[in-house]
Amino acid sequence: MQNAGSKSRTAVALRKSAVARYLQLAALFRRRIETGEWVVDARIPTVEELAKECGVANMTIRQALGILEQEGLIERFRAKGTFVRKSNRHDLWCEVQTDWSGLLMSRDNAQIEVISSENSVIPSDHPTEVGDLAPGYLHLRRVHRRDNEAFLLADVYIDERISAKIDEKDLTSKTSMRLIADVPGINIVDARQVLTIGLADPEISELLGVPLGDPVAYVKRVAVAEDGTMVLIANGIYRGDMVRIDIKLLT
């Protein structure tokens, strides 16, 4: 059986950060499977070989491999070694749109679940320089899925004065921007989107089904009405392994 890591390589440089070393290594090894460096059905290097390559203790390698085993990516056998059993999916993309028309489109085959709803809320994190706060907001926490895989966790704040005009069924079928754009009499005069990259904390890890410390994309969207009120504030968190941003530089 071919060894998936038989070629020589230089030592792995691990970051000095709050993310535990075994989580960093789990992400590294997962990436090797995703890229095909460690191919399905091949035996990967031994714990001792990986520990020497990465400059860590054997236990740290075992912890990292334990995460991949829980995910079903590898299988370990006594006296035989550790084998790749499957690769992560590559085709469940979710494009983060970069124009107004794109933000209004629902994702193909996407299901939206409202997991909590609360009235008369003021978001603690809001861009004061963009517009004025409404007296109160309807706060929705929604999970977006495709093929039963969660790809987006979103906290959506809608001006309570217009939330009553939104059909309840639309809350599980429309993007946050579409919810506002379709309200009669509301004219959006400004809309902003900001994307930053971060790491999955325990809550995000559980709700999106990603390993703790994995990369995620934070997307903040704001829509402003004619009177200067921020009628929509939406904070989304996308799985880093499913998101894609495609920007056309020339028209």
Which pLDDT belongs to residue 242? 78
Identify the helix (H) or strand (E) that includes residue 54: helix 47-54
Q: Quick one: pLDDT at residue 96? A: 65
- pTM of structure: 0.69
pLDDT at 10: 42
For residues 17-42, average pLDDT: 84
Kindly state the average pLDDT of the residues 113-130: 90
Give 159's pLDDT tier (boundaries 50, 70, 90): very high
With 70 as the cut, is the pLDDT of residue 157 above it?
yes
Q: Give the whole-angstrom CA distance, residue 222 versus residue 130.
A: 8
Confidence category of residue 148, pLDDT binned at 50, 70, 90: confident
Query: In the predicted model, what is the mean pLDDT of residues 136-141?
Result: 97
Lowest average pLDDT, out of 14-28, 39-53, 193-207, goes to: 14-28
Q: How far apart are CA 153 and CA 145, in angstroms?
A: 9
In the predicted model, is pLDDT for residue 153 greater than 90? Answer: yes
Whole-angstrom Cα distance, residue 107 to residue 115? 19
Euclidean distance between CA atoms 106 and 203, whole angstroms: 25
In tens, the pLDDT along 161-214 reads 999 899 999 999 998 999 998 999 999 999 999 999 998 898 998 899 887 788
What are the tens digits of pLDDT across the range 77-110?
Answer: 988 999 999 876 544 556 666 665 655 555 667 8
Q: What are phi and psi of 242, to 5 degrees?
A: -120, -10
